[in-house]
Structure 1
Amino acid sequence: MSDRREILNSLMQELDLGGGVCSLVNGALRQGAGAAITLEDPYARSELTSYPDCGVDLAGEACEAADAAQKTWAQLSAAARGDVMQEIARAVTSQAAPLAQLEALVAGKPIRDARVEVAKVAEMFRYYAGWADKIHGEVIPVPSGHLNYTLREPLGVVFQITPWNAPIFTAGWQIAPAICAGNGVVIKPSELTPLTTVALVRIAEGAGLPRGLVNVLCGLGPTTGQAAIQHPAVRKVIFVGSPETGRRVAMTAAEALKPAVLELGGKSANIVFADANLEHACLGAQAAIFSGAGQSCVAGSRLLVQRSVHAELTQMISEGMNSITLGDPLDDATEIGPISNGRQYAHIQSMIANAATGGAAVQTRTDLPKEGYFVPPTLLTGLGNSAEAAQTEIFGPVVTAIPFDDEEDAIAIANDTEFGLAGAVWTRDLGRAHRVSAAVRAGTFWINSYKAIHVSSPFGGSLSSGWGRSSGTDALMEYTSPKAIWLDSGEVPKIAFGYVS
């Protein structure tokens, strides 16, 4: 364990994070003053380090710093903001190796996945750098003859809360469009995985991002998060996480009359018809649920298989589970790392046990690494869609395989959930593919594919999966506010006692 602590200390030194876990407020690393928070190594199940909760006072300073820096940032030309963001992308790329190692160590994410996600963060800044000087309004031909045009203005300061399953990815996902649109940011990563977010913003400041424009709070939701949501400078709240916490965040924001974007959970249906290429569908199903140890909101946790090929496909998946490599997140060979934290590990184990008690046939592996919060790839059969395992987000490498009879039946089962985030269909019938895509309630839907996501495409859901969008040009709309301007250019202004017609 001492070796892994030494790795952590070395990475923190390389990334200029100081001697301990600190918040980043107005360009300075600051220690909190609240209750102690433990960072645990999910592979060794041992403490890596601990740090004090940021707390109310420091959260207030961060909001004020973002408010002051935003005013200067918004006055820059859009092209100048884009130039800074291009430099950030280059700087992230240059520091990709230590960032990926830090993510793998603290979050338990396989290093091969962490490298990809760090590369995507650089891509996010490049993408929105190109949009910085292309955010504009429109001219509207109103019947009164006025020149009516709109501007899209930054909101001011936004508060972002990001989760433990993909810390640096979701940090880039939210920060890049926010600053592209001219906003200041206060971001609170999960208290369990704060370090790569602090490192990302330190790198961004080194690349030219004004100090104080993006501030990172390392702390707890009920204290630090609550204080930031309620601060007068904050104009909007963005939350990525569980539906339960999302509800509390939304209620707190609503009490302060602040809008929120919520990117919450999913129970996505991965639908396989009998005419599909079963080898491709099998590989897709495994990637949909087992990659990232299933710790993804879009995980294909409900596998709906046409009855005539249900036994064949589930057998293929069961056999394929044995060839997936579980191990140390820092090992290049590892395909599935440990569950990110002990609380989530206990939840997954409880869900599997409940499914078995409820009549599920549980197919899994017993050859696990000796250390770590490991849950092996697990296949549940013999359950209907009303079972807890088919309705509740497990957030682990556990898939429930459910048979269906025909297209109508598949759509009905897919939509029989409180979530509406993602889904997929595997079929050779193009007409069926389009019909199912249109009928299934999901913000993102794949045809003969799964988990293809890019910063240029809108992402989000409905119902208990939240509302609003977090990427593409839709994200820019979330981070701006339209203003309508009316100019009467006539020699005699149109003035009425009431509305001008």
Structure 2
Amino acid sequence: MSFIVEGNGEQQVELLLNELLGTSEFGSWIDGELVTGKGDDIELINPATGQTFLIYRDAGKDIVADAAAAAINAQKLWWSMTASVRGQLMWKCGMKIREAAESLARLECISAGKPIRDCRVEVAKVAEMFEYYAGWCDKIMGQVIPVPTTHLNYTRHEPYGVVTQITPWNAPIFTGGWQIAPAICAGNAVLLKPSELTPLSSTVLVKILEQAGIPRGLVNVINGLGHTTGTAAIANPATKKVVFVGSPQTGALIASAAAQRVIPCVLELGGKSANIIFPDADLDRAVVGAQAAVFSAAGQSCVSGARLLVHRNVYQEVVDRVASAASRLPVGLPWQEGTMVGPINNQKQFNHVHSLVSDSIAEGAIVAAGGKPSEIFGGENGYFYQPTVLANVKNNMRVAQEEIFGPVVSVISFDDEEEAVALANDSRFGLAGAVWTADVGRAHRMAAQVNAGTFWVNSYKAINVMSPFGGFGESGYGRSSGYEGLLEYTQTKSVWVETAKDSAIQFGYSIQ
């Protein structure tokens, strides 16, 4: 199933927006309506062509205020519904997303520059998120605590009210659904601020949720720049919690701004994950896993296995096999069915990737595959980069310490298990990691010793909405997905009810 994108994609985006949004105009989605921003113009650029395909205006403080007011009102309505009704509506959200899946995937493909096959998978996962959390709506239960008094003491999990969620450009619809679903399951309303570079699919998603029966204004999409629209959302008194997915640098600023208001955060930040291969591993599977770990999504994944740690006994064999495979991966226009590696999302990130590769070569790394931009017919001005394998990398090199967020893997040698653990943990990040080995004991030792919020054994990138996800260290704090991710959107209230007919008088007070 293929589709044609003519010119810079403007015509196809216009058709998709008309189909999904009801108009080719674009702005913020506030209280069930499209609202034009009041700030500066923002250009959306097709990553595959380097050409502008849409211009919209930054939302700004006033629109954020309108969104917050709508969210407050809608949250009261939503929370007044029974948990069963909320669950039924969330299930319908999943159904509606599946009905629009192909169009959503195409919109994501053009605007984010992701291969169409990847976009179809991610849209399906968004539907799954709403279906999963639909089942949790009527199962968020407290506890009865056997306190040593005559009181009935029980707990309630209650929503914060309004939460602000800020999502990144690398997987806009996936991270949007990843956060919206548990937030509304717990009874909250949402101010969603997608990256200004990729706001289209998130905005369309929210309209689809409303078509499924979610109250207008429960989820509002404020489209604009971080330092204007994002800052205004965090500062708005309606916001009671902030959830951010993005870079550690921006995450630190957001956490500071939230702290000024004494409101909590969940931060899912960067990674520099170690993918570790021992000599006893099934090397056929490990080599395929190493590719999937870093080349899917053109490496633009927070859990990318950008550091490939390989035992010295099989180091050269693994380098040669991964490099050979990388040189054969189909790099191309994202809307072509055979494309496995699409473009980098934007010029700034493209320059960052190339800079890190160039620096690593100057420091002594050897290019085993790739190492330069790709020349793509029809995408001559796009941000394409060859799948790159760097050998002879030392863990103290910049390319091994900084998040690269591109299709580049640094292969580092080690001699024993102890050194592998030390190298894996020699990073300020701790988002994910993996080990490939036939030794069951070693697998569990590595899982216990590597500092990472997610760890795979003889696998990579197995992620599901049922399982908690988050990081250690500068990869952030708090959890998304699973039951733990749901509880991030609730506050625990302890209720004490005196049950004794003649209760004791506390603290010696007397009745007159």
- Indicate the residue corresponding to 1:403 in structure 2: 413
1-structure distance, mates of 2:145, 2:319? 56
Residue 496 of structure 1, CA deviation: 2.0
Q: Which residue number corresponds to residue 285 of structure 1?
A: 290
- Mapping 1:182-193, distance limit 5 Å: 182-193=187-198
Alignment partner of 1:401: what SS?
Answer: strand
Q: What is the match of residue 61 of structure 2?
A: 56
142-151 or 433-442, which moves further after superposition?
142-151
Counterpart for residue 416 of structure 1? 426
Deviation of 1:429 (Å): 0.3
Aligned residue in 1 for 2:302: 297
Structure 2 counterpart of 1:434 = 444
Matched residue of 1:168: which SS? Answer: helix
Q: Distance between the aligned counterparts of 2:298 and 2:279, measured in 1? A: 27
Query: For 2:97, what is the secondary structure of its paired residue?
Result: helix
SS of the counterpart of 1:51? strand
How does 1:312-331 map onto structure 2 within 5 Å? 312-331=317-336
Cα deviations across residues 232-275 of structure 1 (Å, max 9, x unaligned)? 11100000001011011111111111100000000000000000
Q: Distance in 2 between matches of 1:118 and 1:12?
A: 16
Q: Which residues of structure 1 form unaligned runs of 5+?
A: none
Structure 2 CA distance for aligned equivalents of residues 288 and 148 of structure 1: 48
- The alpha-carbon deviation at position 17 of structure 1 amounts to 4.8
User: Which of residues 140, 156, 164 in structure 2 aligns to 1:159?
Assistant: 164
1:484 alignment partner, one of 494, 499, 508: 494
Percent identity over the alignment? 54
Partner of 1:36: 41
1:393 aligns with 2:403: yes
* 1:72 paired residue among 66, 72, 77: 77
Aligned-partner Cα distance in 2 for 1:119–1:379:
31
Separation in structure 1 between the aligned mates of residue 101 and residue 91 of structure 2, nearest angstrom: 15
Q: Which amino acid aligns with 2:439?
A: D
CA deviation vs aligned residue, 1:214-233 (integer Å, no higher than 9, x gap): 00011001100111101111
1:14 matched to 2:24: no
From 220, 245, 253, give the equivalent of 2:250: 245
1:359 is matched with 364
What is the Cα deviation at residue 306 of structure 1? Answer: 0.5
The superposition leaves residues 257-294 of structure 1 with CA deviations (integer Å, 9 ceiling, x where unpaired) of 11000000000000000000111000000000000000
Work out whether residues 17 and 29 of structure 1, in 8 Å CA contact, stay in contact via their aligned partners in 2: no
Deviation at 1:459, TM superposition (A): 0.2
Give me the whole-angstrom Cα distance separating, in 1, the residues matched to 2:140 and 2:247.
32
Tell me which residue corresponds to 1:454: 464
Instruction: Tell me, yes or no, if the aligned pair for 1:488 and 1:494 is still in contact at 8 Å.
Output: no
Q: Bigger CA drift: 139-148 or 388-397?
A: 139-148
Instruction: Name the SS of the counterpart of 2:506 in structure 1.
Output: coil
SS at match of 1:18: coil
Q: Which residue of 1 aligns with 2:101?
A: 96
Amino acid at match of 2:445: R
Structure 2 residue 118 is matched with structure 1 residue 113: yes
SS in 1 for 2:344: coil
* Residue 368 in structure 1 maps to residue 375 in structure 2: yes
* Structure 2 residue 259 is matched with structure 1 residue 254: yes
Given that residues 138 and 150 in structure 1 are in contact (C-alpha distance below 8 angstroms), is that contact kept between their aligned partners in structure 2?
yes
CA contact (8 A) 1:271 1:304 kept: yes
| Partner amino acid, structure 2, of 1:257 | V
| Alpha-carbon contact 2:15-2:24 (below 8 Å) kept | no
Q: Is the 8 A contact 1:17 1:199 kept in 2?
A: no
Separation in 2 of the partners of 1:117 and 1:68? Answer: 31
Contact 2:324 2:369 in 1 (8 A): no
Q: Is the 8 A contact 1:18 1:29 kept in 2?
A: no
Whether the aligned pair in 1 keeps the contact of 2:319 and 2:368 (CA below 8 Å) is no
Compute the displacement of 1:143 (Å).
1.5
- Shift, 1:315, TM fit: 0.5
Deviation at 1:491, TM superposition (A): 1.7
Q: CA-atom RMSD, angstroms?
A: 1.2
Q: Which residue pairs with 2:341 in the alignment?
A: 336
Query: Which runs of 5 or more structure 2 residues have no equivalent in the other structure?
Result: 1-5
Shift of 1:364: 2.7
Aligned equivalents of 1:233, 1:346: Cα separation in 2: 38
Encode CA deviations 1:360-410: one digit per residue, 9 max, x unaligned: 112333663142101111111112111111110000011110001111110
Of 212, 223, 226, 2:231 maps to 226
Distance 1:84 1:24 in 2: 20
- Alpha-carbon distance in structure 2 between the residues aligned to 1:163 and 1:3: 23
Question: How far apart are residue 64 of structure 1 and its match?
Answer: 1.1
CA distance in structure 2 between the aligned counterparts of 1:267 and 1:94, rounded to whole angstroms: 37
Q: Secondary structure at the match of 1:15?
A: helix
Q: Secondary structure at the match of 2:216?
A: coil
Q: Report the 3-state secondary structure (helix = DSSP H, G, I; strand = E; otherwise coil) of the residue aligned with 2:507.
A: coil
Residue identity in the other structure for 2:129: M
- TM-score scaled by structure 1? 0.98
Distance in 1, Cα, partners of 2:21 & 2:490: 33
